[in-house]
Amino acid sequence: MLIGAFLLVPIIPFLLLGESFESQVEAFLKAQSEFSSWTHCLLVIGALAIDIFLPIPSSAISTYAGGVLGTGLATVASWIGMTLGSVIGFGLARMMGRPFAVRLAGADDVERIEQFAQRFGPLALVLTRALPILAEACVLLMGATQLSWRRFLPAVVLCNLVISLTYSACGEYFQKMDALPAAVVASGTIPLLTALAIRKWMPKWTQQVGD
Protein backbone atom coordinates (compact mmCIF):
# COMPACT_ATOMS: atom_id res chain seq x y z
CA MET A 1 0.00 0.00 0.00
CA LEU A 2 2.82 2.41 0.85
CA ILE A 3 4.65 1.68 -2.40
CA GLY A 4 1.42 2.12 -4.34
CA ALA A 5 0.73 5.47 -2.72
CA PHE A 6 4.31 6.58 -3.41
CA LEU A 7 4.04 5.68 -7.10
CA LEU A 8 0.74 7.54 -7.42
CA VAL A 9 2.36 10.86 -6.47
CA PRO A 10 2.91 12.04 -10.09
CA ILE A 11 -0.81 11.55 -10.84
CA ILE A 12 -2.05 13.77 -8.01
CA PRO A 13 -1.13 17.15 -9.61
CA PHE A 14 -3.28 16.32 -12.63
CA LEU A 15 -6.25 15.65 -10.36
CA LEU A 16 -5.76 18.80 -8.28
CA LEU A 17 -4.42 21.40 -10.70
CA GLY A 18 -4.73 20.07 -14.22
CA GLU A 19 -2.20 19.21 -16.89
CA SER A 20 -1.62 22.82 -17.96
CA PHE A 21 -0.18 23.82 -14.59
CA GLU A 22 2.12 20.80 -14.58
CA SER A 23 3.32 21.81 -18.06
CA GLN A 24 4.15 25.28 -16.79
CA VAL A 25 6.23 23.79 -14.00
CA GLU A 26 8.01 21.56 -16.51
CA ALA A 27 8.86 24.59 -18.67
CA PHE A 28 10.19 26.43 -15.62
CA LEU A 29 12.41 23.49 -14.64
CA LYS A 30 13.83 23.24 -18.14
CA ALA A 31 14.67 26.94 -18.05
CA GLN A 32 16.78 26.37 -14.93
CA SER A 33 18.68 23.42 -16.41
CA GLU A 34 21.61 25.59 -17.55
CA PHE A 35 22.53 26.58 -14.00
CA SER A 36 25.57 24.95 -12.43
CA SER A 37 25.26 22.69 -9.41
CA TRP A 38 26.67 25.37 -7.11
CA THR A 39 24.26 27.95 -8.49
CA HIS A 40 21.39 25.57 -7.82
CA CYS A 41 22.68 25.01 -4.28
CA LEU A 42 22.83 28.74 -3.58
CA LEU A 43 19.36 29.27 -5.03
CA VAL A 44 17.92 26.46 -2.90
CA ILE A 45 19.63 27.71 0.26
CA GLY A 46 18.56 31.29 -0.38
CA ALA A 47 14.95 30.40 -1.16
CA LEU A 48 14.56 28.23 1.92
CA ALA A 49 16.35 30.73 4.17
CA ILE A 50 13.66 33.36 3.49
CA ASP A 51 10.79 30.88 3.74
CA ILE A 52 9.90 32.33 7.14
CA PHE A 53 9.02 35.64 5.46
CA LEU A 54 7.51 34.51 2.14
CA PRO A 55 5.06 31.73 1.16
CA ILE A 56 7.73 29.56 -0.44
CA PRO A 57 6.85 25.84 -0.82
CA SER A 58 9.92 24.39 0.87
CA SER A 59 8.88 20.80 0.15
CA ALA A 60 8.66 21.54 -3.58
CA ILE A 61 12.03 23.33 -3.51
CA SER A 62 13.66 20.33 -1.81
CA THR A 63 12.10 17.91 -4.30
CA TYR A 64 13.30 20.06 -7.18
CA ALA A 65 16.78 20.13 -5.63
CA GLY A 66 16.85 16.35 -5.42
CA GLY A 67 16.00 16.10 -9.11
CA VAL A 68 18.73 18.46 -10.30
CA LEU A 69 21.44 17.88 -7.68
CA GLY A 70 20.99 14.31 -6.53
CA THR A 71 20.01 13.19 -3.05
CA GLY A 72 23.27 13.94 -1.26
CA LEU A 73 23.98 17.49 -2.37
CA ALA A 74 20.30 18.42 -2.40
CA THR A 75 19.88 17.20 1.18
CA VAL A 76 22.77 19.37 2.35
CA ALA A 77 21.51 22.46 0.50
CA SER A 78 17.92 21.97 1.64
CA TRP A 79 18.97 21.27 5.23
CA ILE A 80 21.14 24.39 5.41
CA GLY A 81 18.44 26.58 3.88
CA MET A 82 15.63 25.26 6.07
CA THR A 83 17.74 25.55 9.20
CA LEU A 84 18.85 29.10 8.37
CA GLY A 85 15.23 30.10 7.83
CA SER A 86 14.19 28.56 11.14
CA VAL A 87 17.06 30.16 13.06
CA ILE A 88 16.41 33.59 11.54
CA GLY A 89 12.69 33.46 12.32
CA PHE A 90 13.21 32.11 15.83
CA GLY A 91 15.94 34.64 16.64
CA LEU A 92 13.94 37.61 15.40
CA ALA A 93 10.84 36.45 17.30
CA ARG A 94 12.91 36.14 20.49
CA MET A 95 14.09 39.72 20.06
CA MET A 96 10.84 41.32 18.92
CA GLY A 97 8.28 39.23 20.77
CA ARG A 98 4.74 38.18 20.02
CA PRO A 99 3.78 41.20 17.81
CA PHE A 100 6.46 40.14 15.33
CA ALA A 101 5.15 36.56 15.30
CA VAL A 102 1.59 37.76 14.78
CA ARG A 103 2.63 40.09 11.98
CA LEU A 104 4.33 37.31 10.03
CA ALA A 105 2.16 34.30 10.84
CA GLY A 106 -1.19 35.95 11.56
CA ALA A 107 -3.05 36.13 14.85
CA ASP A 108 -5.27 33.11 14.13
CA ASP A 109 -2.40 30.76 13.34
CA VAL A 110 -0.38 31.94 16.33
CA GLU A 111 -3.37 31.26 18.59
CA ARG A 112 -3.88 27.81 17.07
CA ILE A 113 -0.25 26.88 17.57
CA GLU A 114 -0.28 28.35 21.07
CA GLN A 115 -3.07 25.99 22.09
CA PHE A 116 -1.21 23.11 20.48
CA ALA A 117 2.07 24.05 22.17
CA GLN A 118 0.36 24.22 25.56
CA ARG A 119 -0.38 20.50 25.20
CA PHE A 120 2.93 19.35 23.74
CA GLY A 121 5.50 22.01 24.60
CA PRO A 122 8.63 22.10 22.40
CA LEU A 123 7.53 18.78 20.86
CA ALA A 124 5.15 20.92 18.79
CA LEU A 125 8.20 21.95 16.75
CA VAL A 126 8.70 18.33 15.71
CA LEU A 127 5.01 17.63 15.07
CA THR A 128 4.53 20.66 12.82
CA ARG A 129 7.92 20.77 11.09
CA ALA A 130 6.72 19.15 7.83
CA LEU A 131 3.54 21.24 7.61
CA PRO A 132 3.54 24.54 5.68
CA ILE A 133 2.13 27.56 7.53
CA LEU A 134 1.99 25.73 10.87
CA ALA A 135 5.75 25.07 10.94
CA GLU A 136 6.57 28.76 10.50
CA ALA A 137 3.94 29.81 13.03
CA CYS A 138 5.34 27.35 15.56
CA VAL A 139 8.92 28.58 15.11
CA LEU A 140 7.82 32.18 15.57
CA LEU A 141 5.67 31.40 18.60
CA MET A 142 8.44 29.45 20.30
CA GLY A 143 10.78 32.36 19.74
CA ALA A 144 8.25 34.85 21.06
CA THR A 145 7.78 32.76 24.22
CA GLN A 146 11.55 32.81 24.79
CA LEU A 147 12.17 29.10 24.38
CA SER A 148 15.89 28.48 24.90
CA TRP A 149 18.17 27.88 21.94
CA ARG A 150 19.28 24.65 23.61
CA ARG A 151 15.76 23.23 23.36
CA PHE A 152 14.99 24.73 19.97
CA LEU A 153 17.99 23.79 17.85
CA PRO A 154 18.21 19.98 18.29
CA ALA A 155 14.56 19.41 17.37
CA VAL A 156 14.57 21.72 14.36
CA VAL A 157 18.00 20.70 13.04
CA LEU A 158 17.23 16.98 13.15
CA CYS A 159 13.72 17.33 11.72
CA ASN A 160 15.01 19.53 8.91
CA LEU A 161 17.60 16.89 8.05
CA VAL A 162 15.01 14.12 7.84
CA ILE A 163 12.62 16.25 5.78
CA SER A 164 15.38 17.40 3.43
CA LEU A 165 16.59 13.84 2.89
CA THR A 166 13.07 12.56 2.23
CA TYR A 167 12.10 15.16 -0.35
CA SER A 168 15.52 15.15 -2.00
CA ALA A 169 15.40 11.37 -2.42
CA CYS A 170 11.91 11.67 -3.91
CA GLY A 171 13.17 14.29 -6.32
CA GLU A 172 16.02 12.12 -7.54
CA TYR A 173 13.74 9.10 -7.84
CA PHE A 174 11.10 10.88 -9.91
CA GLN A 175 13.74 12.55 -12.04
CA LYS A 176 14.91 9.07 -13.04
CA MET A 177 11.27 8.20 -13.74
CA ASP A 178 11.01 11.31 -15.96
CA ALA A 179 8.29 12.66 -13.66
CA LEU A 180 10.08 15.43 -11.76
CA PRO A 181 7.67 18.28 -12.71
CA ALA A 182 4.67 16.32 -11.45
CA ALA A 183 6.55 15.33 -8.30
CA VAL A 184 7.50 18.96 -7.61
CA VAL A 185 3.87 20.04 -7.91
CA ALA A 186 2.65 17.15 -5.77
CA SER A 187 5.25 17.76 -3.07
CA GLY A 188 4.07 21.34 -2.86
CA THR A 189 0.32 20.78 -2.95
CA ILE A 190 -0.07 17.69 -0.75
CA PRO A 191 1.67 19.09 2.38
CA LEU A 192 -0.16 22.39 1.91
CA LEU A 193 -3.58 20.71 1.68
CA THR A 194 -2.70 18.57 4.69
CA ALA A 195 -1.66 21.64 6.67
CA LEU A 196 -4.84 23.50 5.74
CA ALA A 197 -6.97 20.55 6.85
CA ILE A 198 -5.14 20.24 10.17
CA ARG A 199 -5.27 24.00 10.59
CA LYS A 200 -9.05 23.93 10.22
CA TRP A 201 -9.59 21.21 12.81
CA MET A 202 -6.76 22.05 15.21
CA PRO A 203 -8.73 24.23 17.69
CA LYS A 204 -11.43 21.57 18.11
CA TRP A 205 -8.84 18.79 18.30
CA THR A 206 -6.72 20.51 20.93
CA GLN A 207 -9.84 21.20 23.00
CA GLN A 208 -10.76 17.49 22.88
CA VAL A 209 -7.24 16.53 23.93
CA GLY A 210 -7.49 18.91 26.87
CA ASP A 211 -10.84 17.43 27.89
Residue-level pLDDT, tens digit, the chain, 211 residues: 444 444 444 444 544 545 454 555 555 555 555 667 888 898 899 989 988 888 788 898 899 899 989 999 999 999 999 999 999 999 999 999 999 999 988 888 888 888 888 888 889 999 999 998 899 999 999 999 999 999 999 999 999 999 999 999 999 999 998 888 888 888 888 888 888 888 877 655 455 544 4
Rounded to two decimals, what is the model's pTM?
A: 0.80
Contact in structure between 87 and 45 (CB atoms under 8 Å):
no
Angle (CA) 179 184 189, round 5°: 125
Contact in structure between 52 and 104 (CB atoms under 8 Å):
yes
Q: From the CA atom positions of the chain, what is the Rg in Å?
A: 17
* Direct distance between the N- and C-terminal alpha carbons of the chain, in angstroms, rounded to an integer: 35
Largest CA distance in the chain: 56
Contact in structure between 58 and 70 (CB atoms under 8 Å):
no
Q: Indicate the domain borders of the chain.
A: 35-210
Of the candidates 2, 62, 187, the residue with the CA atom closest to the CA atom of residue 195: 187
